[in-house]
Amino acid sequence: MLLDFIFDQTLEGGITQTAPFMGIQTFGPSNNAGSLGWQLVLPIIVLKYMKYYGMSIIEDKRISVSLNRHLNYLLKFDYEYIKYCCLGDWGSVDTVLINNKETPPDKEFCSAAMYLIVLQSYQKLAVFTKGMSFETEKLEEKIRYVKEKLIKEYYNSKGYFQGGSQSSYIFSLKAGLDKEFPELLQKFKNQIREDDGVFKMGIFGMAWSYEILDDQDLIYQWLTRKSYPSFYSMVSNNSGALGEYFKKMDGSSLNHAMFTSYSQWFISALLGIKFDQETQESTDLLIDPYIPDDIEFAEGTLRTIHGEIGIGWKKTQEKTMIKAQIPSTINYRFSKEFKVNSKTIIDSSWLIEAIKR
Q: What is the pLDDT of residues 188-212, one digit of tens each?
A: 999 999 999 999 999 999 999 999 9
**Given a cut of 70, is residue 20 above it in pLDDT?**
no
Give the CATH number of the domain where residue 187 resides: 1.50.10.10
Cα distance between residue 33 and residue 3, in whole Å: 16
Chosen domain end from 268, 302, 324? 268
Report the pLDDT value the prediction gives residue 194, as an integer from 0 to 100.
Answer: 98
Residues 145 and 171 in one domain: yes
Residues 192 and 262 in one domain: yes
The pTM assigned to this predicted structure is 0.94
Mean pLDDT of the chain: 92
Report the pLDDT value the prediction gives residue 13, as an integer from 0 to 100.
Answer: 95
Residues 197 and 78 in one domain: yes
**Given a cut of 50, is residue 21 above it in pLDDT?**
no
The H-or-E segment that residue 326 falls in is: strand 320-327
Residues 211 and 331 in one domain: no
Residues 169 and 137 in one domain: yes
Residues 258 and 322 in one domain: no
Report the pLDDT value the prediction gives residue 23, as an integer from 0 to 100.
Answer: 45
Residues 167 and 240 in one domain: yes
Determine the average pLDDT of the residues in 230-237. Answer: 96
Chosen domain end from 207, 234, 268? 268
Determine the average pLDDT of the residues in 260-278. Answer: 92
Strands 96-98 and 101-103: antiparallel
Give the CATH number of the domain where residue 290 resides: 2.60.420.10
Q: Is 168 within 8 Å of 109 (Cβ atoms)?
A: yes
Residues 280 and 162 in one domain: no
Residues 263 and 118 in one domain: yes
DSSP 249-311: -TT--SS--TTGGGHHHIIIIIS-EEE-TT-TT--EEEE-----TT--EEEEEEEETTEEEEE
Residues 188 and 220 in one domain: yes
Residues 241 and 286 in one domain: no
User: What's the length of the chain?
Assistant: 357
Q: Which band of pLDDT confidence, cut at 50, 70 and 90, is reported for residue 56? A: confident
Number of domains in the chain: 2
- Residue 302 belongs to domain spanning: 276-356
Report the pLDDT value the prediction gives residue 22, as an integer from 0 to 100.
Answer: 44
Residues 299 and 171 in one domain: no
Instruction: Encode pLDDT of 293-331 as tens digits.
Output: 999 999 999 998 889 999 999 999 889 999 999 999 999
Chosen domain end from 268, 292, 313? 268
